[in-house]
Amino acid sequence: MKGELKMFNSIVEKLLKAEEETPVVEYIEARKLHGRIDLSLNQEAMEEETFRDLLEDLVLTTPRTSSKLFFNQLFGGRKSKAVLGDLLAVMLNNSMYTYKVGGPQVGVEKSIINKLCEMVGYGEAGNGTFPSGGSMSNLMAMIMARDAHDPKIKLEGTAKKLIVYTSKASHYSTPKNAAMMGIGRNNVRFVDTDSKGELQSDHLEELILEDLEKGNTPFFVNLTAGTTVLGAYDPIPPTSRICKKYNLWLHVDGAYGGGVIFSKKYKHLVAGLEEADSFSVNAHKMLGTPLTCSIILTKHSQQLYDSFSNNAEYLYQTDGDDFNLGKISMQCGRRNDALKFWTLWKSVGTETLEKYVDQQFYLAEVAREYISNHPDYTLYSYDDSISICFNYKGIDANELCTLLYQEAEIMVGFGQFQEDEFIRFVTINSENKKEDILNFFAKLESFVAKSVQLSSEVTR
Ligand SMILES: *Cc1c(COP(=O)(O)O)cnc(C)c1O
């Protein structure tokens, strides 16, 4: 192992230096990838030196998602204490299904779950787990909702037409999960949003009544805390009242924006969260933990157990169900995603996680203010969001983002809401400073100025 650790250190040092000097890596066309790096697998072992060089080349040609100029997705930056935890998780290579194999690591996971349950107001009645990502967290919520509606479905299946409600601006995992569960994509109702992208609860109730009229069976409502494009927060209290009235499970998908529970200043965006039956949050988004680190919480701990426990004599051999986390998870073998979040949280404290969240909103304000003061820009997003959606000089967002990527200038993506397509600039990297945000705009503007020709060529 010593040789590999040395190799690791030397490659990582080069990576860190490269990230500083060249925040956006040179673009390699997908169809030319295999010609550029030898990724083939061979019969013979490789000579150590050649292997090292190849590995270094692979690392240094990979997109730099932790750099100052990566704004393409809903994650960014690198929290060193979290990285340390993840490296140790790999070294330990536990599986989180039993206490026998996970030992104190099980306590690490439980400690985070308990603390989060306390923070969202579920208290002792709550429990949760770390699924493999936000999509799977949402799937677990839908499964619990189905079983809470009718526990027999798990055993016998059902011919009932189960109906799911989610907003038009919600993440694609909801219809995908409905498809995977046999509920069917066509039994997902997409509720209208207002101009800010927030679900309209009046329309939700109308849709529920229509379904009841038709003899369908509504059972699940998904709200989003931070929609994937605009970063909008759906209103919890009016939706919760509707869910109680019609006896529906309310899930809040906070994969993107759920991190606001750490901020005194912004947790009002999820006011009423304690009324929801379940809540998911990705620590790998707002909370800066490496991918993937997703958490699902529910205030019905018995339902979590009833939906996901199975007996297996070959697996569960010691200790109680409380410490054998496989009884409340989807997977059998499960990676230790908790440790990296714990090493971060334990070392920097809750107050620092709060600062990370607040910094993202501050950077978003800097960006919105810049846009508002510059007439060449059009803004499409709203306050209280860390997604800043805009267009510059009316240039096609898709073309501009793609050119910025291919020319290795900036990694940023584009999105759509209703009729508009725009650049989606995400200030999720809390290590960035005001000047990094201003630098983004400066780079964008000088790129456009020097490549008017380029972009008009693409248009033709
Ligand atoms: C990112 C995201 C998800 C999916 O999470 P993954 O970990 O990527 O599967 C779900 N919902 C919302 C609102 C998201 O932004």
DSSP string, 37-50: S-----SSPPPHHH
The structure tokens listed for 444 are 């964008």
Distance 42 CA to ligand 1 centre (A): 37
Using alpha carbons, select from 135, 152, 177 the residue that is nearest to residue 307: 152
The structure tokens listed for 222 are 């998904």
Residue 56 phi/psi, 5° resolution? -60, -40
Residue 388 has pLDDT above 60, yes or no: yes
In the block, residue with structure tokens 């190799």: 7
pLDDT at 454: 56
Q: Which residue has the higher pLDDT, 213 or 314?
A: 213
Residue 281 near ligand 1, beta carbon < 6 Å: no
Using alpha carbons, select from 273, 333, 403 the residue that is nearest to residue 96: 333
Pocket test for ligand 1, best of 138, 171, 278, 281 (most atoms within 8 A of CB): 171
Q: What's the rounded mean pLDDT across residues 275-296?
A: 98
- CB hemisphere CA count around 163 (13 angstroms): 21
Distance 227 CA to ligand 1 centre (A): 9
Q: Among 90-99, 196-205, 403-412, 451-460, which is the least confidently predicted range? A: 451-460
- Specify burial of residue 100 (Cβ count, 10 A radius: 0-12, 13-18, 19+): middle
CB-CB neighbours of 413 under 10 Å: 19
DSSP 8-state code for residue 184: -
273 near 279, Cβ under 8 Å? yes
Burial per residue of 222-231, b for 16 or more beta-carbon CB atoms within 10 angstroms, e otherwise = bbbbbbbbbb
Residue 447 has pLDDT above 80, yes or no: yes
Distance 171 CA to ligand 1 centre (A): 7
Q: What's the rounded mean pLDDT across residues 243-270?
A: 98
The structure tokens listed for 350 are 């809750």
Residue 133 near ligand 1, beta carbon < 6 Å: yes
* CA-to-CA separations, 88 to 82, 103, 332, in angstroms, rounded: 10, 15, 21
In the block, residue with structure tokens 């991918």: 291
Q: What's the rounded mean pLDDT across residues 234-245?
A: 98
pLDDT averaged over every residue in the chain: 96
Distance 455 CA to ligand 1 centre (A): 32
pLDDT at 271: 98
Nearest ligand 1 atom to alpha carbon 138: 10
**Helix, strand, or coil (residue 250):** strand
Q: For residue 11, give the amino acid letter.
A: I
Cα-Cα-Cα-Cα dihedral sign, residues 251, 256, 257, 263: positive
Can you say how many angstroms the Cα of residue 106 is from the centroid of all Cα atoms in its chain? 23
> What is the strand order of the sheet 70-71 is part of?
70-71, 411-417, 420-426, 387-392, 377-379
Q: What is the β-pairing status of strands 294-298 and 377-379?
A: unpaired
Q: What's the rounded mean pLDDT across residues 48-56?
A: 97
Q: What is the pLDDT of residues 310-336, one digit of tens each?
A: 888 888 888 888 999 999 999 999 999
Nearest ligand 1 atom to alpha carbon 133: 7
Distance 71 CA to ligand 1 centre (A): 16
Residue 256 near ligand 1, beta carbon < 6 Å: yes
Pocket test for ligand 1, best of 253, 278, 286 (most atoms within 8 A of CB): 253
Residue 171 near ligand 1, beta carbon < 6 Å: yes
Residue 231 near ligand 1, beta carbon < 6 Å: no
CA distance 130 to 147: 20
Residue 344 has pLDDT above 60, yes or no: yes
Residue 455 has pLDDT above 60, yes or no: no
Q: What is the β-pairing status of strands 70-71 and 278-282?
A: unpaired
CA distance 142 to 120: 20
In the block, residue with structure tokens 């069917």: 184
Residue 294 near ligand 1, beta carbon < 6 Å: yes
Nearest ligand 1 atom to alpha carbon 227: 13
Q: What is the pLDDT of residues 109-149, one digit of tens each?
A: 999 999 999 999 999 999 999 999 999 999 999 999 999 99
Give one DSSP letter per residue of 254-317, joined into a string.
ETTTGGGGG-TTTGGGGTTGGGSSEEEEETTTTT-PPSP-EEEEES-HHHHHHHH----TTT--
pLDDT at 175: 98
Distance 180 CA to ligand 1 centre (A): 17
57 near 37, Cβ under 8 Å? yes
Distance 226 CA to ligand 1 centre (A): 10
Nearest ligand 1 atom to alpha carbon 228: 15
CA distance 19 to 179: 40
Residue 94 near ligand 1, beta carbon < 6 Å: no
Distance 100 CA to ligand 1 centre (A): 32
Q: What's the rounded mean pLDDT across residues 295-323?
A: 92
Q: What's the rounded mean pLDDT across residues 39-47?
A: 97
Q: What is the pLDDT of residues 56-85, one digit of tens each?
A: 999 999 999 999 999 999 999 999 999 999
Residue 458 has pLDDT above 70, yes or no: no
Name the percent of the chain in helix, strand, coil, to the closest 5: 50, 15, 35
Q: What's the rounded mean pLDDT across residues 325-351?
A: 97
Nearest ligand 1 atom to alpha carbon 136: 9
Residue 289 near ligand 1, beta carbon < 6 Å: no
Residue 424 near ligand 1, beta carbon < 6 Å: no
Residue 375 has pLDDT above 60, yes or no: yes
Q: What's the rounded mean pLDDT across residues 362-380?
A: 97
Contacts of the segment 173-180: beta carbons below 8 A, 24+ positions apart: 173/134, 173/135, 173/138, 173/139, 173/253, 174/138, 174/142, 174/222, 174/253, 176/135, 177/135, 177/138, 177/139, 177/142, 178/142, 180/139
pLDDT at 457: 56
Distance 214 CA to ligand 1 centre (A): 32
Q: For residue 287, give the amino acid letter.
A: L
E strand or H helix at 83, and its extent? helix 80-92
Residue 255 near ligand 1, beta carbon < 6 Å: yes
